[in-house]
Amino acid sequence: MTRYRNLLLFVLLAAAWGSAFMAIKAGLEYIPPVLFAALRYDVAGVLMLAYAFYATDRPLPRTREQWTVVAIGATLLIAGYHTLLFIGETDPAVTSAAAAVIVSLSPVLTSGFARLFLSDERLTTVGLAGLLLGLVGVAILSNPDPNNLLSGGAVAKFLIFGAAAAFALGSVLTRRVDADIPIETMEAWSMIGGALIMHGVSAGMGESVADVVWTVESVAALAYLSLVASALGFLIYFDLLGRLGAIEINLVSYVAPIFAALAGWAVLDEVPTVYTVVGFLVIFAGFLLLKRRAIRAEVPRLRRMVSRP
């Protein structure tokens, strides 16, 4: 029964995070991009902070190391990632599925950054091949025209690649800092700090609440991203992380694009291109190369789970 519960939660998480790309795309029709991201984490940050007070006995960071981790999370995992992602998705040439596929490069980039910044990890020749394969996948998906690199969504897709890199780097740097802080507390304060940073960036870009067009669609997109993709999504993530481990939970990144494509097609009439599909397969192949040993070590346990009556 536990196995089926884990599978159901895994699929729900992939659906919530995958369909979030469609919700971003839909909301950007009515809300300026960086302000949209900031408003999302105004709501999600308050909800996550409430959960941190409920779920842990240390809802407030106390030491310099703990605040350092929060600062990294706020700057890279929340503000850096979402600012670049939301701006990138403003380009009509970037579909929800394409954005999700580029973001699925994050586990590959995380492995690369880990071997660069963490002393206990080294990048082997095969691992380097996996990292390069992931980058090739993004290049295939972007399909840039050498004669006009500023057209066809190439710049927007590389902005989203920058978002994935910011998230991957932030994930590694938070591991580098030796801070004993509950993950719920770190996420909550990172969300709040990231929202404040994005409000500052939004104001610097000349965005204003007066530019927001409040409609059923814009409110629905903001509510879905704040409540479902962020608050509920992270609750499921925390639950699965403790029981599945980092390797299996990383696979969410490779299931999410399926739901992004379905949601984009059903709601926005988006049709994934062949470059999206091929790029996804190449990125996933790079992930398999990078994580080959960890995945091989997981196979016996998965077999026992499947064969258990």
% the chain with pLDDT above 90: 43
| Residue extents of the structural domains in the chain | 2-307
Per-residue exposure over 46-84, b if at least 16 CB sit within 10 Å of its own CB, e if not: bbbbebbeebeeebebeeeebbbbbbbbbbbbbbbbbbb
Taking the CA atoms of residue 188, residue 190, residue 192 and residue 193 in that order, the dihedral angle to the nearest 10 degrees is 160
Q: How buried is 273 (Cβ within 10 angstroms: 0-12 exposed, 13-18 middle, 19+ buried)?
A: middle
pLDDT for 12 equals 93
The length of the chain in residues reads: 309
pLDDT in tens, 204-262: 999 999 999 999 999 999 999 999 999 888 888 877 776 766 556 667 777 888 888 88
| pLDDT tier for residue 127 given thresholds of 50, 70 and 90 | low
pLDDT in tens, 158-215: 899 999 999 989 988 888 888 888 888 999 999 999 999 999 999 999 999 999 999 9
- For the cut 50, the answer to whether the pLDDT of residue 149 exceeds it is no
CB 250 within 8 A of CB 66: no
Measure the CA–CA gap between 36 and 40, rounded to whole angstroms. Answer: 6
Q: Whole-prediction pTM value?
A: 0.83
Nearest to 103 by CA among 155, 168, 46, 49: 168
